[in-house]
Amino acid sequence: MYKILVVDDEPKIREVIREYAEFSGFEVTEAEDGMSAIGLCKLNDYDIIIMDVMMPKLDGFSACKEIKKIKDIPVIMLSARGEEYDKLFGFELGIDDYIVKPFSPKELMARINAVLARVNSQTTAPQGVLTFGGLEINIPARTVTVDGEKIELTPKEYELLFYLVENKNIALSRDKLLSDIWGYDFFGDDRTIDTHIKNLRNSLGPYRDYIVTLRGVGYKFEFEQ
């Protein structure tokens, strides 16, 4: 049974999510603010977190950032704010999905299942250390080094890099990258992918050109031994 942590300062929203989640077979724990959520994550393991953005004591973004330091738990953010900046900021923190209020509980459950399916599929991915010239990706440790120096990537940047590498020399459309990495149809907002690719290239330094832009299509990781 999957364990879900629902974090929202509105009792009615927690109640609705609990009702649908328990009906779908989830074990539900509730928290009314970010501080409580962090405390619960220190004590317990959860398969996924549903986190509101605007909450007392500690907002959802700050709580997510602190939780990611403790455990790598998938997070879906809920917010009444639908601005692109808020979504991109959340994805930079490593969240897996962003849903604008008011939302459909059925859609939320579909998003939850999509995120869990993506996370579970990653456990069957190739394990070990992949080397491309001076670029080294340590899959078990989730670390990346450039010419022997460790570089810092956000969780989503790492997932994007690993997905490109796993499908090296294969053309990948933006829609496919959004669907397979974020786990759902992102309604064609290509700027999310382009922003992450730009940041990833900057981090890779001398190996930035391994990520090739395919005009009108998307991207691919190109490496010939």
pLDDT tens string 54-99: 998 899 999 999 998 888 899 999 988 767 777 888 888 888 888 9
pTM of the predicted model, to two decimals?
0.62
Chain centre to alpha carbon of residue 3? 18
Check pLDDT > 60 for residue 183: yes
Q: How many CB atoms lie within 10 A of CB 13?
A: 18
Q: What is the pLDDT of residues 112-130, one digit of tens each?
A: 988 888 777 655 555 678 8
Using CA atoms, how far apart are residues 15 and 29, in angstroms rounded to an integer? 11
- The sign of the CA dihedral 62, 45, 48, 91 is positive
Take residue 148 and report the two structure tokens written for it. Answer: 């022997």
Residues 6+ apart with CB under 8 A from 57: 33, 34, 35, 36
Q: What is the pLDDT of residues 146-161, one digit of tens each?
A: 999 999 998 888 889 9
Using CA atoms, how far apart are residues 145 and 151, in angstroms rounded to an integer? 6
Taking CB atoms within 8 Å and a gap of at least 24, the contacts of 36-39 are 36/7, 37/5, 37/7, 37/63, 37/67, 38/63, 38/66, 38/67, 38/70
Q: Categorize the per-residue pLDDT at 217 as very low, low, confident or very high, splitting at 50, 70 and 90.
A: confident
Q: What is the pLDDT of residue 200?
A: 94
Q: What mean pLDDT do residues 18-39 have?
A: 94
